[in-house]
Structure 1
């Protein structure tokens, strides 16, 4: 389903919340949904507006919401958004429309809303949902090709890649919200020179620059989701860093794929950026290169082909312990774009459910690392350093082949289009701690 562009996207629209006007991530044209924990310790549904957080439970109690917008907030009364996301797009659109009315310049309810705003710096932002399942895909074709060339120079892409969206089942219990830390994992790695494997701290810890897809309405077990309906099952998007222990992965991944190398930690940005907010940045799925196979019919939909991809700029930055000590700015490692995905979000969802798998509200699906064709667009250190052979130089003279303890990695995203306000995703950030 193609998302509608309406008055909530108007570039001329401003907010009486001054920090929202020109805000890098959260102008009034964005209005993401999330959960915050305020001074009383309760988890409540909210939206971000500039540098502030708007308490939606307070708005509901004050009678400022009705119809679909009230239904969304009522469903989030338990402190997670699973049931609210399950309501589908109609309630999300109703909430977005009402929030735009309450927060725009000249809103008659301003004096009632102002006490419901909290400064974002004084609030914590936990995971917005209870994640039942997490699946990570591999739809960044430049990443797949770059990694394949490191290990299979003569055959970087396996034969199935352009026929089927490749994915694996991840570990939902180790997904955490931005701002936390990541403990370097221990694991078994290949011995040097043919010696027996050993067990110890990962030596090749890496990040992965990804988008996360949040599932809204689910499907019954045994009932596939048709590709034409798949977008209706997507409640929103986030940034996702699916940390990887490359040396552990190299030893364990055959024949069944990643295990300990991937299950120790994943980090997501805490805001759910809705499909409605992203409507102006939807683009046609890039044409497949000549000679590539056409997707099978269950993965083909005309609307999805015309507007199922997104123009989202993706960036990864690093700050080392020494850089922080010397107050050096975080260093940009890569600038990529979601347009490099070989499969769309709807194709990912349709394929995931095609065998009858039941997706549930709050499930998380990762796109896999999204790299671009240029070296400056590499979404992982494995690619950027050619497997560690070409270290990256950081400000202050340090080098990195892979991540070291104390390094802080931040993912960011920006959506820009002439005639529309730019919006962002907020940060997806975590710092590496030493192995236990």
Structure 2
């Protein structure tokens, strides 16, 4: 009885604290993710007040949080959209992977962590935060900008790559040999391909089967189906998160819209619990030794993300200002970097990887909204000063017509 009361007090305090932190972040219009991570650090190993009885339940809630994050991500896209993005934007996806995964892999190797940790840290530095970026685009009123489809295409390609990447690192972290790892990857690719084919050809029938006018029944069916598929995927040595992502892709139309509205509060709750759980397993004393490498990695990969967005927007014919906006918007890392690092922390391959990933995400989730807002004006000012254009004197009426008027609109 005493244990049950302690659990309720601890878990209730966690949820209340997360709610207050979320309100604080919303008031100042920034992502609450760093606050959730800091809360986990405060109440985890080596923190101010370590948790006791509620930690096991928090671990289960964190796993559900990962599943719901990937499910909701899949609901954002249809299979047709994904196929279209693969055909038209794959060069940008390849550039994105090369520029942003390699610095993470190189850092892990320089620190002597070995090839498996290098593959994990490559994923941490590669994947941008879809949640943070979507919020930033809405806050800045850029959803209708010409560069926004380019940004979303890169995010879609990154999310698609998770269906291949997660099974690879799952096999590596489990210590599977070449044969077992290849079998796991083959199963993952086969399942992903099958789901995409079913979603394209029979998506309407599947959505009709799941559909219900009763919100309660729709919620239960979608959530139950997602957890079931995620469990089966994990049993087959494929990431549960990949299974949830594929379920989201398979659902479309009104079912996807209805499920999105019903599941959003649950996702926010369990995702917040996930970030806290990650912080709980990171000793605050372990962060200072990796702070400098994390800062260096953050600065390098902020630059590579800006270069990625600039190149992709230029390829799409966007103006220079739009290119800088696209690059600056892609800088933020967040939920998926922590998901990838969380898998490594659970496996125990490198004790310093978790603290470095925590510090890295904290830095970029704070810097990301700032680069989204200020990269374009700063770049415009610097390039203008560098060019130092000279305007000829207007001695004749014809010359005066060539001098730009202060009221002349500037292409954005």
TM-score (norm 1): 0.23
Larger Rg over CA atoms: 2
TM-score (norm 2): 0.24
Higher helix share: 2
Higher strand share: 1
